[in-house]
Structure 1
Amino acid sequence: MTPTPRGRIPVSPRRFTGTVQIDGVGNPDEQTAIGCAHVRFSPGARTAWHHHPKGQTLYVTDGIGLVATRTGGVQEIRPGDVVYIEPGEEHWHGATPDRFMAHVAMQEADENGEVVIWLDHVTDDEYRA
């Protein structure tokens, strides 16, 4: 076993609203299909709508956040919460308007190496719902 140094991952404004920092923990490779990152959201920051071919697990480490699906509405998440999003389920996650939030995001690559499919931005109305 050899530790692999990871670093800050650039954040695309096409995929996020607000200030977000992503620290890579691991990427799918020849040894594992699992990708993992520690993601920090400033107040009001959030992902765009997206889905994962093999699903996603979020482990909240700090702050207060929100997670939403197109069919399930918005739910508050707090430190210690574990959220599993089903494969193909369109969703977004981020911080509340007035609180920072951080989580560890874990997802598995499909047979084509895909871990996420990005969609449209979350509107302010969807975020406030």
Structure 2
Amino acid sequence: MARFKRDALDVPDASHIIVLIGINDIQYGSLLPKRARTFDEMAVGYTQLVQAAQAQGVRIQWGTLLPFGGPADDSTEAESQRQALNTWLCANSVKADAVIDFDQALRDPAQPTRLLPLYDSGDRLNPSDEGYAALANTVDLASLR
């Protein structure tokens, strides 16, 4: 919440926020179990961010979590949590002003738990320049007016 306030809500004249956050919280489960977050904890956090933005009159759009699978870090549990969160987000259970399906835009149709190779920066987690362009092209610009 502290970073969200500083990085988004305290920006002068901000009227819209697009949020894409949470994949690191899921991945910590296998690397740093004490820092891992459950579905319920993440849902509460997402809801708090939306409520804080809307209380300040800022429109907030939520982006679905990107795939991050690869040969070295495939985790059925982590992928199940990502899928559950994306389903929850797409149903707009978080009550955002809109939801953007970044997952669909960047995933590899042949291997949906992974980024499309063109959109992968090489670490199977962060988008390449082409991936960030695809994210930007997924945003409905009319929703930012």
Q: Normalising by structure 2, report the TM-score.
A: 0.30
Structure with greater Cα Rg? 2
Please identify which structure carries the higher helix content.
Answer: 2
Please identify which structure carries the higher strand content.
Answer: 1
Q: Normalising by structure 1, report the TM-score.
A: 0.32
Greater RCO (Cα-Cα under 8 Å, separation 6 or more) = 1
